[in-house]
Every structure is written in structure tokens, then in C-alpha cells.
Amino acid sequence: MSVLVSLNGRRRIYEVKGDVAVVRINDPNSKVNTLSIQMQKEMAEVMDEVWANDAVKSAVLISSKPGCFIAGADINMIQSCNSADEVTTLSQEGQKMFERIEKSPKPIVAAINGSCLGGGLEFAIACQYRIATKSKKTVLGTPEVMLGLLPGAGGTQRLPKMVGLPSAFDMMLTGRNIRADKAKKMGLVNQLVDPLGPGLKSPEERTIDYLEEVAIEYARGIVNKKIPIRKEKEIQDYVMSFEFVRNQIYKTVHSKVMKQSKGLYPAPLKIIECVKTGVEQGPVAGYLSESQNFGQLARTSESGALIGLYHGQVACKKNHYGVPQREVKTLAILGAGLMGAGVAQVTVDKGVHTVLKDTTVSGLARGEQQVYKGLNDKTKKRNITSFQRDSILSGLTGQLDYSGFEKVDMVIEAVFEDIHIKHAVLKEVEAVVSPHCIFASNTSALPIKDIAAASKRPDKVIGMHYFSPVDKMQLLEIITTDQTSKDTTASAVAVGLKQGKVIIVVGDGPGFYTTRCLAPMLAEAVRVLQEGVDPKKLDALTTSFGFPVGAATLADEVGIDVAAHVAEDLGKAFGSRFGGGNVEVLKTMVDLGFKGRKSGKGCYIYQPGLKTKEVNPDIGDVLEQFRMTPNPAVSSDSDVQYRLVSRFVNEAVLCLQEGILKNPLEGDIGAVFGLGFPPCLGGPFRFVDSFGADKLVEKMRRFEAVYGNQFTPCQLLLDHAKDSSKKFHK
């Protein structure tokens, strides 16, 4: 017997196979399934029919979309609410619906292929049984915390019961994705199904069919009591039955969260509260706490900032410049240093033939070793097999000359930051490559048009500014000059997207966008040090504002020599506005060999194997030479924080004013993903919106009175301060 019931919108079809109802989820308007109000309504209707149909003994819930079960709740649905109560009501409706699923008299098997996240996971864990494919695309998780929210449809209550307190906290507080095999070990899914290769249909289609066939078998097995659905009591459950054990866990988790978030993120604390309430006071209190906290969190500025970043990230993972005429099949990288090898790693592992060229055998060997190590680390973490590692590495060619460059489609240079060297390299490359080849410079501060001045084909010259370490940092800043062709830009963006990057495309100028924002903040940091603030204190002030890395540590990471170089270059280009700290401080440190982490000494001393780092004792003498007297009127902890941040923010706004930035969104994404601007603030532009341009200008005027034009607010910022209705983000 097979009955097809199509519903309004044809979003879900339910079909009866024998005595099993197969409910297929398929949002017709989107590539992914999300839990929207509409979908919840339809789902409730379908389930009512399933429960009312006497021919049906059990049900299978499956998505027809390849690579996606349910990707989560519809964020817009939450954002369009006008009050916390409204969001709480949404949460309660979700809770009620999943409660009915949980109490279903007919067993429901969730057949999961592809992403099963957030609300999707909460749906799945309300079902009686879960089967997941071992496909790479199958991931389970509760990423709500990354949006400043919590799992608001019963997740905080069901997860601890299902996987135990420690795992539940780990999932909900990190929001990380869990692969199917791990989920099986944790008890999150009951059974695994192998993805299939090509047969009489494409692998994707056939795998979904197979998953459905297997799920139907299990659904029948559950009805026939051949397959048990209750999990056995484990030792962990016994241990958790002691209140003092549980209290110890709450305490540990709480202190860990406070240490990592500095208390700047409310969501993790609320998650702990909801779980605790549910476990200690019972489900009624637990579910109530969950829905109320969900409502409150949805209205916080932190959640708004994080959701903004999420949308921005999605927007910056698209190519807005069209499809390039030629696909880059062979990419060459000049310079096998930290950057060059990093770029090589993220390119070659995407299946692009990669040429890594250096001038010395030792430099090349070091670079190739870095790529090997990067991939081998993935093997150790079992992300890839050793066979995949070796097969990826076979796509990497290391060489010392330009042989074969006529076949290269794009060259990315990562040689020393010196315009003369860049020119020499550009000319060498143009002499050997074919005319379609694009030349990209991975410079962090030199204007691209100055580099392109030496080119025969300036339309093929572009900037691709990567961030170190390349395999970890998500951002790629692409810099176009007036002469860069649209196709060149499209091609650079396509390569960046293939490398897995979040991309902003900015205009040309000294320091472009990111370096230009960072430089004034670092100049201010040097001044703060000169005024007698200890590097550790400086780091604490910046991290407690929400920066993931303190300013002194950041300088060490970037490299004191690079910072000195950039400060000098940009100082020349922008004049006294980029002053503050004395560049000589940095130069003296470089002369003493304190180049930062890479040389083992900078603001701190780095010893291999040691996690804690001590302040470099010799730096005191250097700072003593350049000692400045702090002005108590602008030197409170809070003032120091705002001195650092306001210079960053003002420069970012100026970049938008000057047209370096196309929009505030890319500005926020660049600052957060490239420079570690506090994610809870959502980026410099969202920060101005939520903090208030007028309040910021007021602070800056106070600093301006002491230090001068370094704190003069730019015109655009003043405009926003004057008119509070002006916002960067609507």
C-alpha cells in the first residue's frame, strides 16, 4: 500500500510503506531545511494524521535534501519577534511539539543524512530512535551558543539525559559539530549506515533511499520488540546520581566558562542554569527556565552581534563577482615561508595543483615540511587518512626555478615585504607565465598599485592578504586597484572560497583595511606600555574587553619587526594620526632580537613546550629609555581600553568613509575574523551602533584633548553621533 499525501506548499510528503509512515522533509524554497513556524504547523498536521492512521504502526522521519536533515531553527523567525515574551512563546511551542513526538505511541525513527543541527538535533533527540549515515556531511550539534542563544526546544533538558552531563555541556557550550561515528559512541545516535557509491542512481540519491530502507526495517523491529530503544544504565549514570558529583561538575563548568568568556557572553551561563534547573528541580521547572532564558537571550546585544556575524559570514562566502572565465587549476606560490607554505597547504588539500617556489633548498624544505606537518596533524586527528594525506601531497610540487610556470593560472607571491623585491619577482614571473595568469600579492601593507606599477598587465594584478596561521585564520582580504579587472577579482575570490576562506574585497591604499585598523591600535598599545603599563596588564585589559588575544601578545604573534615596518610605512603615509607610541621602541626591540614569538622573545619569553609565558625581563630597560608620563585623566583601566578600541573603530569608519570598504558588513567581518575584534560586539560598526556614536565621540574628544589628532573622530562617525537614527546596520 502506498498513499501519497501532499500538503500545502508540498513541503512534506508522507508515504505509507507497509505499516511504516515515511515522512519526508523538503523545504521547497531553500537549499536546506529549517524549522520555521510554517514547517512546525505542517509537521503537527502530518503527525496527527500518522497517529490517527490505524494502518500505521511506526514512522520514519527523513529529509529528501542531500546533505541536510534539518540545519536548525529559522533565525529570521527569532529575529522578527518584538519582545522576549514572544520568543519565549516560540520556544514553548517548539517544546510542546517535541514533547508530543517524545510521547508518540508509535515509534518514530529519525533517519539522518547531512547536517542535523540546533532545532534539527532537538527534533531528532525527541524521536525514539536515530540512525545516521557515516557521510562526511552528516554532523550533529547544538550551535546555538555561537549565536548567543541556547537550545530552546527541549535541548537543554533532553541532551543531559541522553549523553550525560559532561558531554551535554561540552556540546552545548562549544557548539561544535559532531561526526556520526562519534555521535554513535556518545549515544547520540543508535545506529550508523554507510554511505553508498554509484549504483543505479547517483551516490547521494541512492544513499538517502538506502537510509530510508534501513530505517523502515528498524522501525518495524522496534514495533516487534526486536530492537531495544532504552539504553542500558552505564557507570556514568550511576556516578551522576550523586548530588555532590553533579555540583562539582556545575562548578567546574561555570568557572571554565567564566575564564574563557570573561563573563562577556551571557548564553553559556544561561545554558548551565537551564541544565541545572532541569536536573535538580525536575522537567517542569527545567523547560520553563529554558524557554524564558531563550527569550531573554534572543534580545541581548551579544546575540544580535553574533547573529550579525553569522549573516555576514554567509554573505562573505559567496562570489559576488561572477564566474571567472578560467578555473585556476594550477596555482604557484612564491616564497615558502610561514605564509607561503600556509597558503600552499589550504590550496593543495582542495585538489588544486600547487607549485611552491623558493630561492633556497633549506627554505623550500622548511615550507614543504610545514605543509606535511599540517596535513599529518589532520591525519593524527583522523580527519583524513594517511592515504589521503599522501595523495594530497602528491599535488604539491616544490621547486627553485620557474620551470613549468607557463602552465600556471595564478601566482601568489609571499616574498619579503620590500617593494624592490616585489617588483623584481613580478617581472620574473611575467616573463615566464602565459598572458592569462593572475599575479596576486600577499602583502600586508604595500599598496597594490605601487606593486602593479612594474607590471605589463596591471589588470591581472591583485592583492590577496592572508592571515597567519593561514590554515586556522578564516579571513582573506582581497585588494583591488582601479586597474584590476573584474574577472581577475572573480578568480581571486573563487580561489579564496575554494580555500575555505571568508572573503572581504576592499579598495587599495596603504594598509588596505585590516592593517590600517590594527596599526593605530598597536601604536596606542606601545604608548600604553611606555606609560608604564606592564604587558600582562595590557593583555588583561584587552582580553577583558573581548579581544581573544591581548594587544602585547598580538604584537608578538604578528612579529615586532613586522609591526615596526608597518608602523613606519603607515606613519609616513598617514602622518601624525598614526603616531602615539614611539616607533623607536619597536625598532630597539628588533635590534635586540626581540622579534616576537618567532624569535623566542618579544614582549614575552617563549620556550618550546611551555604553555605559560613570562614577561621578557629585558623589555623593562627598553621601555625605560622611552618612558612617558601617563595623564591620570585618561589612564583609568576603562580609559585605556577605550583609547585602544576607539582608534581601531575610528579608522574602520574612516575606511568606509573613504570607500576602501564597500559596506559596514565586510568591515565587521574583516575586523572579527582577521584581527580578533571582540565577537560579542559584532565588529567595529555594530559596536558603534550598539554603544552609540555620540558616546564614543564624547570619549574620543576627551582623549583628543590630551593626545591630539590621533583621537579626532572622522566625519562619518561625527554624522552618526549627531543623528542617533543613523545606523550602520539596519
Partner 1 sequence: MSSMLLSTIPQVSSSLSESYCLTLLSVQTKSKKTLARPGVKNVVLVEGVRTPFLLSGTTGLLQRTGLPKDAVDYIIYGTVIQEVKTTSILRHNINQRTLGAGFSDKIPAHTVTMACISSNQAMTSGVGLIAAGQCDSIVAGGVEFMSDVPIRHSRKMRKTMLSLSRAKTLGQRLGLIGSIRMAHLSPELPAVAEFSTAETMGHSADRLAAAFGVSRVEQDEFAVRSHTLAKKAQDAGLLQDVISFKVPGRDIVSKDNGIRVSSMEQMGKLKAAFIKPHGTVTAANSSFLTDGASAVLIMSEEKALAMGYKPKAYLRDFVYVSQDPKDQLLLGPTYGTPKVLERAGLTMSDIDVFEFHEAFAGQIMANLKAMDSDWFGQTYLGKKSKVGTPPMEKFNLWGGSLSLGHPFGATGCRLVTTVAHRLQKEGGQYGLLAACAAGGQGHAMVIEAYPQ
Catalytic (active-site) positions: 477
Residue where the block lists cell 547544538: 142
129 binds partner 1 per the rule CB under 8 A:
no
**Closest by CA position to 507, among listed 573, 448, 430:** 448
Helix axes 693-707, 684-691, angle to 10 degrees: 100
Nearer to partner 1, 206 or 423 (CB): 206
With CB under 8 A as the contact rule, the residue among 83, 248, 385, 631 that binds partner 1 is 385
Sketch the per residue contact string, 162 through 181, with partner 1: x for CB under 8 A, - otherwise: --------------------
206 binds partner 1 per the rule CB under 8 A:
yes
With CB under 8 A as the contact rule, the residue among 31, 176, 199, 456 that binds partner 1 is 199
Q: Which range, of 206-214, 294-302, 458-466, 583-591, touches partner 1 by CB under 8 A?
A: 206-214
With CB under 8 A as the contact rule, the residue among 165, 172, 178, 196 that binds partner 1 is 196
Minimum separation from the CB atom of position 192 to partner 1 (A): 9
Minimum separation from the CB atom of position 194 to partner 1 (A): 5
Minimum separation from the CB atom of position 2 to partner 1 (A): 17
387 binds partner 1 per the rule CB under 8 A:
yes
Minimum separation from the CB atom of position 376 to partner 1 (A): 16
Q: Which range, of 79-87, 202-210, 399-407, 703-711, touches partner 1 by CB under 8 A?
A: 202-210
**Closest by CA position to 603, among listed 611, 454, 564, 613:** 613
With CB under 8 A as the contact rule, the residue among 45, 93, 99, 217 that binds partner 1 is 217
**Closest by CA position to 153, among listed 277, 27, 293, 305:** 293
224 binds partner 1 per the rule CB under 8 A:
no
Minimum separation from the CB atom of position 373 to partner 1 (A): 20
200 binds partner 1 per the rule CB under 8 A:
yes
Nearer to partner 1, 187 or 532 (CB): 187
Minimum separation from the CB atom of position 234 to partner 1 (A): 21
18 binds partner 1 per the rule CB under 8 A:
no
Rounded-to-integer distance, Cα 333 and Cα 343, Å: 8
The pair phi, psi for residue 144, each rounded to 5°, is -50, -40
| 730: three-class secondary structure by DSSP | coil
Angstrom distances, CA of residue 466 to CA of 94, 456, 459, 496, 502: 42, 25, 21, 10, 11
DSSP for residue 712: P
575 binds partner 1 per the rule CB under 8 A:
no
Nearer to partner 1, 100 or 380 (CB): 380
Rounded-to-integer distance, Cα 123 and Cα 154, Å: 9
Nearer to partner 1, 191 or 483 (CB): 191
Structural contact between residues 542 and 642, judged by C-beta atoms closer than 8 angstroms: no
Minimum separation from the CB atom of position 206 to partner 1 (A): 6
**Closest by CA position to 513, among listed 674, 330, 277, 311:** 674
677 binds partner 1 per the rule CB under 8 A:
no
193 binds partner 1 per the rule CB under 8 A:
yes
**Closest by CA position to 651, among listed 722, 714, 569, 726:** 714
Q: Which stretches does DSSP call E strand in 424-536?
A: 438-441, 461-466, 475-480, 502-507
With CB under 8 A as the contact rule, the residue among 166, 203, 469, 692 that binds partner 1 is 203
In this structure, the strands spanning 178-179 and 129-133 are unpaired
Count how many residues are written for the chain. 730
Find the distance separating the first CA and the last CA of the chain, reported in whole Å: 53
For 459-462, the CB contacts below 8 A with 24+ separation are 459/483, 459/484, 459/485, 459/488, 460/436, 460/485, 460/488, 461/426, 461/488, 462/438, 462/488, 462/489, 462/492
210 binds partner 1 per the rule CB under 8 A:
yes
Minimum separation from the CB atom of position 390 to partner 1 (A): 10
- Tell me the β-bridge partners of 440: 412, 462
77 binds partner 1 per the rule CB under 8 A:
no
Binding residues for partner 1, total number by CB under 8 A:
18
3-state helix, strand, coil in the chain (%, to 5): 55, 15, 35
The pair phi, psi for residue 360, each rounded to 5°, is -125, 150
Nearer to partner 1, 11 or 220 (CB): 220
Site for partner 1, rule CB under 8 A: 191, 193-194, 196-203, 206, 210, 214, 217-218, 385, 387
